Chains A and B, each alone.
Chain A
Amino acid sequence: MSIAPSKILATLRVNGRDATLAFHPHATLLEVLREELRLTGTKHGCELGQCGACTVIVDGTPVLSCLTLAAEAIGRSVETVEGLAVDGTLHPVQRAFLELGAAQCGYCTPGFLNAAVHLLEKNLEPSEAEIRDALAGHLCRCTGYTKIVEAVALAGRRMRASIDG
């Protein structure tokens, strides 16, 4: 028994796969990803759109999943941190975060990764100011952002090299 309203049945496309599931009409995308699809890589730090931890990519654009209704994502393509590595090989941004120690506690990391991947998809040679601008909506309490900026730049260089090479 529960006092919650009835659920709706819908299909979400998450990390390239369709998932048909039932969720409350008021459920946020964050809640549905974490609680229904068990994609717990997407984190919450405030559920008020203030920290950026819950950032996922919807139709190619970073969105705060805590402020997005899951119902709004029906028929759209959702990418989460779990979709970044392909066949077990880390995305260059993940690799750079790993190697440079840009993830300490790792809690804000999935949000940063999504924002960084989105930036590099548009601009493989971002200046430091462009990197900082792109990540300005994300809070990290561990790193002082230094290694995050370095990691995004490194990933961009490697992605360029792999295209050029």
Chain B
Amino acid sequence: MGKNGASHSGSHVVGAPLPRIDGYAKVTGAAIFADDMALPRMLFGKLLRSPHAHARILSIDYARALRIPGVVAIAIGSDLPIRYGILPSAQDETVFAIDKVRYVGEPVAGIVAEDELTAQTAAALVDIRYEVLPSVMSIDAALLDVDGNGEKIHPDSRRDNNVHKEVHLTFGDLDAGFADATRIFDDEYFFEGNTHAALEEHSAVASCGADGKLTLWSSTQTPHYLHRVASAVLELPASRIRIIAPPVGGGFGGKTEPVAHELAAAYFSRKTGRPVKFTLSREEVFYTHRGRHPVRIHLRTGIRADGSISACRVQTWLDGGAYGSYGVATTYYTGALLPVTYKMGAYAFDGCRVYTNKPPCGPKRGHGTTQPRYAFESQLDEIAKELGLDAGAYRAAIAIDPYSRTVNHLRVTSCGLREALSAVSERTGFSDKHGKLAPGRGIGLAASAYLCGAGLPIYWNPMPHSGAIVKVDRGGGVTIFCGTSDCGQGSQNMLAVIVAEALGVDVLDVSVCSGDTDLTPVDLGSYSSRVTFMAGNAARSAALDVRERIAVVAGAELGIAPERCAFENGRVFDRKNPDRALSFIDAARATEARFGTLAGVGSYTPPADLHGDFKGSGVGPSPAYSYSACVAEVEVDFETGEVRVERIVLAHDCGRALNPRIVEGQIEGSAYMGMGEALMEESAFRNDLHRIPNLLDYKTPTILDTPRIDAIVIETKELEGPYGAKEAGEGPLNPVIPAIANAVADAIGRRIYATPITPERVLQALDGTAGPLRLRAPIAMKTT
């Protein structure tokens, strides 16, 4: 045992608030992130980016740049012409733009040199001529027919406008539902786009050996998808590519799809035979983006006399930016999960994602469900007010039941929504305060649900979503191999806890080898809050596979049936007579002697019956859902319009908390991030330019802005989760934004229909210059 080690083993690993196993490296500066790597003879790369939002590339001349001493290679679009994209249905990007650029900051060329300064200096000497085209910078502009005025952002699209994707789904009899309603509420909301702003700027290091085998280290949440895309774009068999995900310095969805610098590093390393590093600047991170979509949301909700929802129609318009990214999935997600929280008689969803000349939007924590959740929970607050009902009690009354089906056919299992609602209400005395505080002070409540992993993979295949190998060493050390990527959420620790629990060993005797496509079985990645549920289940199966064999041998030694063997505290013993025992090491050695190398495999595939049978049914199903409820208390300054959040109480049903401290950390981080989105974070553009591509002007809450956060862990028993666990990484963010919006409405007596709730918007609401958003006609869709 080391000086700083916290020993813990046996049946108490699950549920114990232990330090995370990777925490030691993180508090000493020893954790090696991608940009911390340096290899002998390593070159440094820079991307040249477009200064225009929409322009045709007329010519590129890099002869002068190439003559600069120290410049080793330059590449442009035609050198890497294969299109890629994270979704099979949206293969619309190339590493460097070909023929035209579609947003300011789009990579146009790459340059590698002996050092960073040389690469940067030479980049300025590349002569690129453009013909500037009219840009499309808003949802409204993108919906218009192009009519020969300028050109479409993607000229090969079959439409006359810049619409990327339309979705239309109806469940139940919508007309009958609205006819059944005694009140109908029609509202329009706008959720502004924002970005992840993880503290680590993306970085990738590639090294290609003389044998042609390429190794690529990258700050990625999805090493498996990078593996697939790198193979396609580089035209190199996947068997010759090794992707390694080092610790990732924050992701939040911003590192979930392959992007130009990773593929450029790989390309240049192959081309030059030398290691190559590309690290993005903070400004480049803002252009790489893939952040929260701006979404306009129209909600029409019919309420029966008893307050129940007879019908609900949701329409969303998403500003997707220049490329597809995860956008098709995002579009579906703006409609998929609202019915997971509340019972509805009938439900319809129309979604429309458009291309604009902005950095591509993608998934951010809560992926596509965050924006409509803000709108729906805002509207529910107005409904409860109209009905004269308590906001918390009303939600509990219409809450979905555990072990039921939603109106859109999703399977719900464990559900702690009602418990979460009462926890936050009771902790804050919500009912005694709501509507009763002094002017300028407000309290608001909201609830939500989220996935524990997408029920279906991004590319259709029948293989497991997660695999794991557990190997036991003769010295008693246990290693788990699993393709996960830890971006700070604690997946390394989760795997160690589950394996330590299953084998009854000290958690520090478990090593985790993760995110390495040569060494680890596939895990699809850190997105959709899937890792605890899916990789956790795979790890548990692999550990039980090993345990079964040990139990056979240990049982024989102890003279008992294998089922009577218990594994705790580094011992294997007779459950009925705990004094009859072997040490785990002796049991493992005897098992290796009997059966050979001691390793087990496990995998996880979600059940098949999670969803309905219709086009689009693949987005939304999950093996389980987490539930959250939040109360926020605010104070609004009537002079300045500033909103100060005084307290956030956030309860989250995570199934069983494998490590309650880490779950609390996820809840607290979600409260903070949601608060930033509610009040200040926005991807703002002026004309064609990102207005604030830096961490000072892109305001995020500092430690002074962030209030007291009470995290309440609600435990339900999720029968299909590993040791009963569900997710905690994304779900808790969703109720925070509407809780704050509802608190502001309570404080000022008027509703603000857009985010972020800036001082300017508050003052406009107070002086009556900003009313509800103009209601739009249903989306004028042109189905092709």
Q: How large is the interface on A (under 10, 10 to 19, 20 to 34, 35 or more residues)?
A: 35 or more
Contact string, A145-165, partner B, CB cutoff 8 A, digits 1/0?
111110000000000000000
Contact string, B646-678, partner A, CB cutoff 8 A, digits 1/0?
000000000000000110110011111100000
In the bound complex, do residue A136 and residue B703 qualify as a contact, i.e. CB atoms below 8 Å apart?
yes
Interface hits, A119-134 → B, CB 8 Å: 132-133
In the bound complex, do residue B665 and residue A142 qualify as a contact, i.e. CB atoms below 8 Å apart?
yes
- In this complex, the member of A101, A138, A143 whose beta carbon has the largest number of chain B beta carbons within 10 angstroms is A101
Q: Chain B at the A interface: mostly helix, strand, loop or mixed?
A: loop
CA distance in complex: A50, B251 (Å): 19
Chain B residues positioned under 8 Å from A43 (CB to CB): 33, 199-200, 249
Interface hits, A66-104 → B, CB 8 Å: 80-82, 84-85, 88-90, 94-95, 97-101, 103-104
Chain B residues positioned under 8 Å from A95 (CB to CB): 4, 27
Given contacts A101-B662, A106-B27, 16 further A-B pairs with CB under 8 A are A1-B69, A4-B115, A45-B201, A46-B694, A50-B694, A50-B695, A85-B28, A97-B27, A99-B6, A105-B198, A106-B31, A113-B27, A143-B665, A143-B669, A146-B672, A147-B665
In the bound complex, do residue B665 and residue A4 qualify as a contact, i.e. CB atoms below 8 Å apart?
no
In the bound complex, do residue A53 and residue B199 qualify as a contact, i.e. CB atoms below 8 Å apart?
yes
How far apart are B121's CB and chain A's nearest CB, in angstroms? 6
- In this complex, the member of A82, A90, A141 whose beta carbon has the largest number of chain B beta carbons within 10 angstroms is A141
Chain B residues positioned under 8 Å from A141 (CB to CB): 196-199, 250, 252, 669, 673, 700
B613 CB–A CB distance under 8 Å: no
In the bound complex, do residue A147 and residue B668 qualify as a contact, i.e. CB atoms below 8 Å apart?
yes
B783 CB–A CB distance under 8 Å: no
Residue of B nearest to A138 (CB): B703
B484 CB–A CB distance under 8 Å: no
In the bound complex, do residue A3 and residue B118 qualify as a contact, i.e. CB atoms below 8 Å apart?
yes
CA distance in complex: A133, B587 (Å): 55
The stretch that binds A, out of B145-153, B485-493, B737-745, is: B485-493
29 contacts between A and B (CB under 8 A): A1-B69, A2-B69, A3-B70, A38-B38, A43-B199, A47-B281, A48-B696, A53-B199, A89-B4, A90-B27, A97-B27, A98-B19, A101-B661, A103-B26, A103-B27, A104-B489, A104-B490, A105-B26, A105-B198, A105-B249, A106-B31, A106-B249, A107-B249, A109-B26, A139-B695, A139-B702, A142-B665, A144-B672, A145-B706
How far apart are A69's CB and chain B's nearest CB, in angstroms? 15
Chain A residues positioned under 8 Å from B196 (CB to CB): 141
Chain A residues positioned under 8 Å from B114 (CB to CB): 1-2
In the bound complex, do residue A148 and residue B703 qualify as a contact, i.e. CB atoms below 8 Å apart?
yes
In the bound complex, do residue A139 and residue B199 qualify as a contact, i.e. CB atoms below 8 Å apart?
yes
CA distance in complex: A146, B672 (Å): 9
How far apart are B298's CB and chain A's nearest CB, in angstroms? 32
CB < 8 Å neighbour of A105 from B30, B199, B201, B662:
B199
Chain A residues positioned under 8 Å from B249 (CB to CB): 43, 105-107
Chain B residues positioned under 8 Å from A48 (CB to CB): 282, 694-696
How far apart are A87's CB and chain B's nearest CB, in angstroms? 8
CB < 8 Å neighbour of A142 from B31, B661, B669:
B669
In the bound complex, do residue A81 and residue B199 qualify as a contact, i.e. CB atoms below 8 Å apart?
no
CA distance in complex: A116, B38 (Å): 29
A58 CB–B CB distance under 8 Å: no
Residue of B nearest to A109 (CB): B26
A57 CB–B CB distance under 8 Å: no
Chain A residues positioned under 8 Å from B2 (CB to CB): 88
A25 CB–B CB distance under 8 Å: no
How far apart are A89's CB and chain B's nearest CB, in angstroms? 5
- In this complex, the member of B33, B197, B488 whose beta carbon has the largest number of chain A beta carbons within 10 angstroms is B488
B230 CB–A CB distance under 8 Å: no
Residue of B nearest to A140 (CB): B199
B23 CB–A CB distance under 8 Å: yes
In the bound complex, do residue B33 and residue A107 qualify as a contact, i.e. CB atoms below 8 Å apart?
yes
From known contacts A139-B199, A146-B709, infer whether A1 and B70 are also in contact, taking CB-CB under 8 Å: yes
B20 CB–A CB distance under 8 Å: yes
In the bound complex, do residue A41 and residue B200 qualify as a contact, i.e. CB atoms below 8 Å apart?
no
Chain A residues positioned under 8 Å from B28 (CB to CB): 41, 81-82, 84-85, 90, 94
